[in-house]
Amino acid sequence: MPGDYVDRVIERLRLKNSDEKEFLEVAEEVLKNLRPVIQQHPEYEKAALLERFTEPERVIIFRVPWEDDQGQIHVNRGYRVQFNGAIGPYKGGLRFHPTVYLGIIKFLGFEQILKNSLTGLPIGGGKGGSDFDPQGKSDSEVLRFCQSFMSELYRHIGPDIDIPAGDIGVGGREIGYLYGQYRRIRGAFENGVLTGKGIAYGGSHIRSEATGYGAMYYAEEVLKEKGDSLNGKVIVLSGYGNVAWGVCLKARDLGSKVISISGRDGYIHDPEGINTDEKIDFLLRIRGENNVKLEDYAKKFGVKFYPKEKPWNLKGDIAFPSATENEIDLEEAKALTANGVKYVFEGANFPTTPVAIEYFKNNGVILGPAIAANAGGVAVSELEMAQNSTRLLWTKEKVDSKLKEIMVNIHTKTKEASEKYGLGYDLVAGANIAGFEKVAEAMIAQGTY
Ligand X SMILES: NC(=O)C1=CN([C@@H]2O[C@H](COP(=O)(O)OP(=O)(O)OC[C@H]3O[C@@H](n4cnc5c(N)ncnc54)[C@H](O)[C@@H]3O)[C@@H](O)[C@H]2O)C=CC1
Ligand Y SMILES: O=C(O)CCC(=O)C(=O)O
Contacts with ligand Y by CB under 6 A lie at: 91-93, 115, 165, 167, 195, 349, 374, 377-378, 381
What's the min distance (Å) between Cβ of 60 and ligand X?
19
Phi, psi of 335 (to 5 degrees): -65, -45
Comparing CB distances to ligand Y, the nearer of 349 and 387 is 349
What's the min distance (Å) between Cβ of 169 and ligand Y?
12
Comparing CB distances to ligand Y, the nearer of 93 and 134 is 93
Confirm or deny that 246 is annotated as ligand binding. no
| b/e sequence 105-141, b meaning 16+ C-beta within 10 Å | bbbbbbbbbbbbbbbbbebbbbbbbbbbebeebeeeb
Q: For residue 163, how many C-alpha atoms fall within 13 Å in the half-sphere facing its CB?
A: 29
Q: Among ligand Y, ligand X, none, what does residue 342 contact (CB within 5–8 Å per kind)? A: none
In angstroms, how far is CA 185 from the centroid of its own chain? 29
Confirm or deny that 381 is annotated as ligand binding. yes
Confirm or deny that 260 is annotated as ligand binding. no
Q: Among ligand X, ligand Y, none, what does residue 347 contact (CB within 5–8 Å per kind)? A: ligand X
What's the min distance (Å) between Cβ of 131 and ligand Y?
17
Query: Which own/partner pairs from 108-111 qualify as long-range (CB within 8 Å, at least 24 positions apart)?
Result: 108/167, 108/349, 109/56, 109/81, 109/82, 109/83, 110/23, 110/26, 110/27, 110/30, 110/54, 110/83, 111/26, 111/30, 111/349, 111/350, 111/370, 111/371
Q: Among ligand Y, ligand X, none, what does residue 181 contact (CB within 5–8 Å per kind)? A: none
Confirm or deny that 166 is annotated as ligand binding. yes
Q: Among ligand X, ligand Y, none, what does residue 195 contact (CB within 5–8 Å per kind)? A: ligand Y
Minimal CB distance to ligand Y: which residue? Answer: 93
Q: What is the dihedral of CA 324, 326, 327, 331, to 10 degrees?
A: 180
What's the min distance (Å) between Cβ of 2 and ligand Y?
35
What's the min distance (Å) between Cβ of 162 and ligand Y?
10
Q: 376, 345 in Cβ contact below 8 A?
A: no
Comparing CB distances to ligand Y, the nearer of 80 and 91 is 91
Minimal CB distance to ligand X: which residue? Answer: 241
Sign of torsion, CA 293 96 330 413?
Answer: positive
Comparing CB distances to ligand Y, the nearer of 337 and 349 is 349
Q: Among ligand X, ligand Y, none, what does residue 92 contact (CB within 5–8 Å per kind)? A: ligand Y
Comparing CB distances to ligand X, the nearer of 124 and 239 is 239
Comparing CB distances to ligand X, the nearer of 112 and 418 is 112
Q: How far apart are CA 428 and CA 414, in angstroms?
A: 8
How many other C-beta atoms can be found within 10 angstroms of the C-beta atom of residue 102? 18
Phi, psi of 391 (to 5 degrees): 60, 40
Q: Among ligand X, ligand Y, none, what does residue 91 contact (CB within 5–8 Å per kind)? A: ligand Y
The residues that touch ligand X, with contacts defined as CB under 6 A, are 166-169, 171, 211, 239-244, 262-264, 287, 322-324, 347-349, 374, 377
Q: Among ligand X, ligand Y, none, what does residue 137 contact (CB within 5–8 Å per kind)? A: none
Catalytic site residue from 106, 127, 233, 342: 127
Q: 425, 225 in Cβ contact below 8 A?
A: yes
Q: How far apart are CA 320 and CA 339, in angstroms?
A: 14
For residue 276, CA distances in Å to 250, 296, 396 come to 12, 16, 21
Q: Is 127 a catalytic residue?
A: yes
Confirm or deny that 242 is annotated as ligand binding. yes
Comparing CB distances to ligand X, the nearer of 209 and 220 is 209
What's the min distance (Å) between Cβ of 95 and ligand X?
7
What's the min distance (Å) between Cβ of 105 and ligand X?
11
**Known binding positions:** 91, 112, 115, 166, 211, 242, 381
Task: Give catalytic residue positions.
Answer: 127
**Known binding positions for substrate:** 91, 112, 115, 166, 381
**Known binding positions for NAD(+):** 211, 242
